[in-house]
Structure 1
Amino acid sequence: MSSHKQKALFLEAKNGQFVVGEHDIPKPGSGQVLVKIHTAALNPVDYKIQQTGALIEKFPAVLGVDMAGVVEDVGEGVQDYVKGNKVFAHGNFTDDQASYQQYAVATTDFTAKIPPNLDFDRAATVPLGFDTASVGLYSDQLGAGLTPPWVEGGRDKYAGKSILIMGGSSSVGSYVIQLAKLSGFSHIITTANPAHQDELKLLGATEVIDRHLSGEKFTAALQKITQQPIKIAYDAIALPETQRAAMSAVAQGGKLVMTLQPAVKEEEGKGRSVTATFGHPYAEPNKIMCSQSWKVLGKWLQDGLIKPNNFEVLPNGLFAIPGGLQRMKDGKISGKKLVVHPQETA
């Protein structure tokens, strides 16, 4: 392999197979850094792209958006980063900015330095999960439109209020819990496997409902916790049954945010709004808001206000990704993120 080439995992075609091959090492442009990727995290969006071809225009394509590594080079106008900085970043759906490879360029607006209390593996679990949680809670267009905790008056603004989070032990759900805590919600109610209860309470959940409860049992468990109307629900799982359960809990005039397209209709909601969020910082409605949250994200991680996900490292570098995505697709991963080390690709 020449010094200008690297190993990358390609999705060969729409609905095609993943194969490891060679790819040019990109050069950082204005406002970008080149990152030698030590850890990349896997996300459900990647197998959904393989299934549907969504979000990708041309194939073969490199996927993956969660990365952590070391700055190798900086582009024009970059002042906050130098070669050798340890960083994590939210990649993009383009070959040069995707994370399933050994080197990628990252946009500095959605990059942060890894605080000394974190390693590459933990830092790589943050970007997509955190951005999907923050956009879903705080975006006016793609979320609930709450006041973010990184703006003046945003911290603890929702004291006395209740929020329901479906799927608290998912990556996105765990960040929704933590942001809800920063926003001051008094009742942070989540559904999860009871095995994750203690951990979710450490993140900020005040009550955990068994995710296997449905229909009247779910409603009864919720009413036992609070009689107060729930105006905000965030469904991090967004299967038809979790959407219906969340919708049944949302009060008149309330909002339901979800990570997939709605299976419930707003008219069923009788004055309740339904929004499918999209935690992609490069999407036009998200750029400004996400660049603001990324300015505080490193500090919040250092101070322990935001804690990364638990993770499992898969051996064999990029070769491990297809099997890891299959495990996620089969529903065999709970309460942790799968990560790989691209530099270990033999």
Structure 2
Amino acid sequence: MQAFVVPTATSRTIDGLVWQERPVPTPGAGEVLIRTRAVGLNPVDYKVVEEGVAAWTFPHTLGLDVAGVIQQVGPGVTAFQPGQRVCGHGNLAVNGAFAESVVATAAALAPIPVGVSFEQAAGSLCAGLTAYQALFRKANLANVRTVLIHAGAGGVGSMALQLAKAAGKRVLTTVSAGKQAFVAPLHPDACLDYRQVNVTREVRRLTAGHGVDLVVNTIGHPEKDLPRLAYNGQLVCVLDTPTQVDPAQALTVSNLDLGGAHRSGDPAQVADLGRMTADLLARVAQKQVDPLVTQILTPADLGTGLQRIKDHRVVGKLVVRFD
């Protein structure tokens, strides 16, 4: 089979990645073999190339998000069968999804509902699951009325915006002027152009001076969000967390690492990836959320797609379709 690989340990750039003939993998206990039909492209896909992963052997096949058809099930797998449409977010420490066939942990997968395409499924995973985990695993929404979501035009931000609106929350989002038209159909309650306004001042103004109940930070510099939070507020960070928090504010700060479930060694956490994926895809099928796939590429354009993501030249989601 053909796979998109990091050929050697010294290959640390996107232009060093190559398509290469690799053996078709065999599923082990608790695993399935998937015939790839679509994969989602994410910033983490090029970042792990540049940073390296100690667990890799080479050549290493890239890719975390796969949607396809089960070809074979390994020992102990009873929840799935050959011919079933499935998708899931994989483990970056092992060979991944940018290949004609991929082995995946069955517990982390979910069936693709009727009416959801392979491309929609693949495009929903990394960003969508990160947003889902932020809102429905890390945050407690019981007393949340207002939410600030950074980078509303980005993959995680756009999915978090839709999920928060579907949950009945008032949503503010930071979006540059050039991307506000893209975000407008998602119906945020306010778009803050972070290049033109003082975000903290605007948040305070829009919340009668109280601040928001929840911030989903996908951009770093989380200390800037602390004065934007209301008393008892919650801050969920996809990147780094603030080093100091004023205890008088009674704030809750959470860090999010979606793929860490695979590395935890805890089967319950891996299985939760599958549960989150199933619920997220049900919401896609019900048209509560849209992964906003803006372009479908061919495998030959996979490297170009990663470079465009790195260069911040993408709005919405890039997906690669396999024949």
TM-score tier by shorter-chain length is 0.7 to 0.9
Match of 1:109 among 107, 110, 117: 107
Residue 222 (structure 1) aligns with: 203
- Structure 1 vs Structure 2 CA RMSD: 2.7
| Aligned residue type for 2:193 | D
Match of 1:265 among 243, 257, 262: 243
Q: Is the 8 A contact 2:55 2:94 kept in 1?
A: no
TM-score (normalised: structure 2): 0.85
- Which structure 2 residues correspond to residues 63-82 of structure 1 after superposition, within 5 A? 63-82=62-81
TM-score (normalised: structure 1): 0.80
Residues 1:246 and 2:246 are matched in the alignment = no
- Which structure 2 residues correspond to residues 61-140 of structure 1 after superposition, within 5 A? 61-96=60-95, 98-139=96-137
Deviations 1:111-149 (CA, angstroms, capped at 9, x unpaired): 22222322221211111112212223344xxx44x26xx
Q: How many Å apart are 1:282 and its aligned residue?
A: 1.8
| Residues 290/89 of structure 1: CA separation in 2 closer, same or farther (3 Å cut) | closer
Distance in 2 between the 1:15 and 1:118 partners? Answer: 39
Match of 2:257 among 275, 278, 283: 278
| Residues 110/330 of structure 1: CA separation in 2 closer, same or farther (3 Å cut) | same
Deviations 1:20-69 (CA, angstroms, capped at 9, x unpaired): 11211112233332111111111111111111114644333111111111
Deviations 1:243-279 (CA, angstroms, capped at 9, x unpaired): 35433312344332222224x4324787545443111
Residue 166 (structure 1) aligns with: 150
Residues 1:341 and 2:314 are matched in the alignment = no
| Aligned residue type for 1:231 | D
| Residues 178/283 of structure 1: CA separation in 2 closer, same or farther (3 Å cut) | farther
Deviations 1:168-219 (CA, angstroms, capped at 9, x unpaired): 111111221233234432x1111113455465454453222224235xx323
Distance in 2 between the 1:119 and 1:105 partners? Answer: 21
| Residues 163/341 of structure 1: CA separation in 2 closer, same or farther (3 Å cut) | same
| Aligned residue type for 2:45 | D
| Residues 294/201 of structure 1: CA separation in 2 closer, same or farther (3 Å cut) | same
Match of 1:296 among 263, 271, 279: 279
Question: Runs of 5+ in structure 2 lacking a partner?
Answer: none
Question: Runs of 5+ in structure 1 lacking a partner?
Answer: 1-5, 148-156
Residues 1:324 and 2:305 are matched in the alignment = yes
Residue 184 (structure 1) aligns with: 168
Residue 205 (structure 1) aligns with: 188
Q: Is the 8 A contact 1:31 1:77 kept in 2?
A: yes
Deviations 1:81-138 (CA, angstroms, capped at 9, x unpaired): 3322222221222444x11111012223222222232222121111111221222334
Q: How many pairs are equivalent? A: 313
Q: Is the 8 A contact 1:49 1:56 kept in 2?
A: no
Distance in 2 between the 1:14 and 1:55 partners? Answer: 9
| Aligned residue type for 1:322 | G
Residue 270 (structure 2) aligns with: 287
| Aligned residue type for 1:117 | G
Distance in 2 between the 1:28 and 1:58 partners? Answer: 18
Residue 35 (structure 1) aligns with: 34
Distance in 2 between the 1:43 and 1:208 partners? Answer: 24
